Structure 1
Amino acid sequence: MRLDAKGTDMNQAEFSIRTQTDGVLRLDRAVLIYHGASGSAFATVHAVEDADGEAVIGAGQAMTPRAAIDLARALSKSVAHAGFLPETVLYMDGDLLVWWLPPGKRHISFRTEGHEQQMGAVERGETVPQPGLVFAASNRAWKVWAVKGSARPTPATPLYQAPYFNVYANGDICQGNVPVPEGTTAEKIGAWNDAFLRSYFTHPNAQGELVSYRGGAYAFWRDMLDGKFSRFPERVLVDAKTTLGALLGMKEVA
């Protein structure tokens, strides 16, 4: 959609709107937003009436939180998703997509210059068992957490620090120079998984403990690459002290 506007005087403005289709847009309502000095906000919704060919804003009423949510969803339809959804999709809201990657053996690569002794080489890569993961992506964020077990996560599922280099304690993924997919539709999940798992992991980003393992994160991943574990040892995961439902409720994923 393209919006062009030009002012005519202090009280009037002319707009022309070009849509991606030939559909006709009808001016229906106006929303007035007020902000207080303390940062509070208040909005009113007004009907728009036609008076001799000119749009006139009528009397308004307070916008309820539910009406604000409905309006936001209507405005975000350009990023809405359609079609059949795979079981791995856990949550969708606007351009926010949250999905689950079940546990399994996957390839992982490290490039840890300066830590050759800890990792056994500057560059190493092997296919190793890895835990179940919960990813979240939007146009503002890219995050990942670990989960235990092989069951599809629910709102009550506890989250754990993702045991990977390049991931912060709050789940943020350090993108670096890794190209990421455009868009967060369900069809892009595989591309998002590849963007993370096929990148080089270079160094721990979490300020605290990345894994609960004697010798720390470097020793853990060296042992994983050496084939010490036939299954991912979930006991090493560090509790993120939240659940999937709590995280979504707090809107901290985006």
Structure 2
Amino acid sequence: MNNVNNIAENFGTLYHPKSALVFYETAGTETDMYVEHFDMDSNGTPINAHPLTVKEANILAKALQTDEEKSTAFLKPKGILPTNILHINPSEKGTVLWYTKAQQRKLYFVNGLGIPNGKAQVPPMLWFANKNSLSVFALANDRRPTEKTLLHYAPFFNIYEKGNVCMGTVSIDIKNSASVEEFIQAWKHYFFNSYFSHSLCENVTRKNIVTLWKDLINTDKPFPKEVLKKNNKTLKNLL
């Protein structure tokens, strides 16, 4: 006989029944309803039947309200809307468009590129994302962009010609209850804390992209904006 393995440790979170509600309704055209509350014993058997009390009803209502609030909280700001946010579509499949100024970031590269990990200056960027995907572009300066602002190819690896980012094996997990601030922070974390590995589009910069980052990494050199290439799109094309 084969040995029986205990696989309980491989299960996910186990929930135990604590109580149950039974709804009774009278027959006829003018119906009336009655709700009975049951506790559960350690075996999951209903015990201690009694009419649903006001206190129990309030606890249930509060729990349901909390779940509803979470489902409608997606992309709501925690306070005053940050000035770098340009557009929000707060639907279930909502999107956010925002920009960041030139800044120093820690960057990670796979060994095959021959570029050490380290800090470097990155150009101003335009970000466009929903819960599952991200597109990024470079900007010519730190000014707040408008609909007419010309976009440039983002000078990074792992990015397709249209600007969409290949996240590889990165597990994207953005909650339905994420505020717009949490949403933006999550995408910046996913982008800058994953490893740049390969170029998906030729000639996205006016200088060899490997040489570019070798020259910038672990230095205080400002990003050379003259290497950016326009992609014949404006911000309005993303709206």
TM-score range relative to shorter protein? 0.5 to 0.7
Contact 2:150 2:232 in 1 (8 A): yes
Q: Deviations over 1:96-141 (max 9, x none)?
A: 111111111111111142x43xx4xxxx112111101111111353
Counterpart of 1:158 in structure 2 is: 150
Q: Report runs of 4+ in structure 1 exceeding 6 Å deviation.
A: none
> 1:78 Cα shift?
6.4
Report the CA distance between 1:86 and its aligned residue.
0.6
- One-letter code aligned to 2:230: D
- Cα 1:155–1:181 change in 2 (3 A) is farther
Superposition TM-score, scaled by structure 2 size: 0.63
Name the residue aligned to 1:202: 197
> Are the equivalent residues in 1 in contact too, given 2:119–2:218 (CA < 8 A)?
no
Unaligned residue ranges in structure 2 (runs of 5+): 1-63
Q: 1:176 aligns with which of 168, 172, 175?
A: 168
Shift of 1:80: 5.4
CA distance 1:200–1:21, change in 2 (3 Å): same
2:185 is aligned to 190
Separation (CA, whole Å) in 1 of partners of 2:166 and 2:120: 22
Q: Distance in 2 between matches of 1:79 and 1:230?
A: 39
DSSP-derived class of the 2:144 partner: coil
Structure 2 match to 1:104: 103
Percent of pairs with identical residues: 27
Q: Are the aligned partners of 1:181 and 1:192 in contact in 2 as well (CA < 8 Å)?
A: no
Task: Tell me the SS of whatever aligns to 1:170.
Answer: coil
* CA deviation after TM superposition for structure 1 residue 77, in Å: 5.7
Partner of 1:91: 87
| TM-score (normalised: structure 1) | 0.59
Give the RMSD, CA atoms, in angstroms. Answer: 2.5
Greater radius of gyration (CA): 2
Which runs of 5 or more residues in structure 1 are unaligned? 1-19, 23-75, 249-254
With 158-167 and 135-144 compared, the bigger mean Cα shift is at 135-144
- The more displaced of 76-85 and 129-138 is 76-85
CA distance in 1, matches of 2:179, 2:138: 22
- 1:64-143 equivalent positions in 2, closer than 5 A: 79=74, 81-82=76-77, 83-93=79-89, 94=91, 95-113=94-112, 115-116=113-114, 119=115, 124-143=116-135
Distance change >3 Å, CA 185–CA 158, structure 1 → 2: farther
Partner of 1:236: 227
Distance 1:135 1:201 in 2: 17
136 and 163 in structure 1: CA distance in 2 versus 1, 3 angstrom threshold: same
Q: Greater relative contact order: 1 or 2 (C-alpha under 8 angstroms, separation 6 or more)?
A: 2
Q: Distance in 2 between matches of 1:180 and 1:132?
A: 24
